[in-house]
Amino acid sequence: MTVTAQQVKELREMTGVGMMDCKKALSETAGDMEAAIDWLRTRGLAKAAKKAGRVAAEGLVGVSIEGTRGAIVEVNSETDFVARNEQFQSIVGNIAKLSQDADGDVGKLSEMPYPGTGRSA
């Protein structure tokens, strides 16, 4: 099956993965978008395993206080450049707020929707 540029673009927009990886995933799965996403996830997990031993010594602490309740979270990154990024700072703030709403229950936190994404935290 021939993979079209439109399919590659669509998969890239859905996953944020590079174009060549998207093309390969679609080729490997005969153009099946859902199977391609699973293929990329499997490959991503393999990449994550290679990086598992790396030290993430930078990062931020997020605090959320509302009334008499609060939450403190630590989110690490490998570089200070990431920690200074506005998007990373926003993520840390959102996770702190979600943590407060989850009342310290990690299971509940992981099931809560992350703001603006439609995905769970």
- CATH code for the domain of 17: 1.10.8.10
Q: Do 64 and 102 reside in the same domain of the chain?
A: yes
Q: Do 101 and 78 reside in the same domain of the chain?
A: yes
Q: Do 62 and 107 reside in the same domain of the chain?
A: yes
pLDDT in tens, 81-100: 999 999 999 999 999 999 99
> What dihedral do alpha carbons 52, 71, 87, 9 form, nearest 10°?
60
Q: Is residue 80 in some structural domain?
A: yes
**Structural domain boundaries, residue 35:** 5-51
The total of structural domains in the chain comes to 2
Bridge partner residues of 65 (DSSP): 70
Pair of tokens at residue 43:
């490959």
Q: Do 47 and 68 reside in the same domain of the chain?
A: no
Closest residue by Cα to residue 94 from 69, 67, 60:
60
pLDDT on residue 18: 83
pLDDT on residue 106: 87
Q: Do 46 and 10 reside in the same domain of the chain?
A: yes
Is 0.85 surpassed by the pTM of this model? no
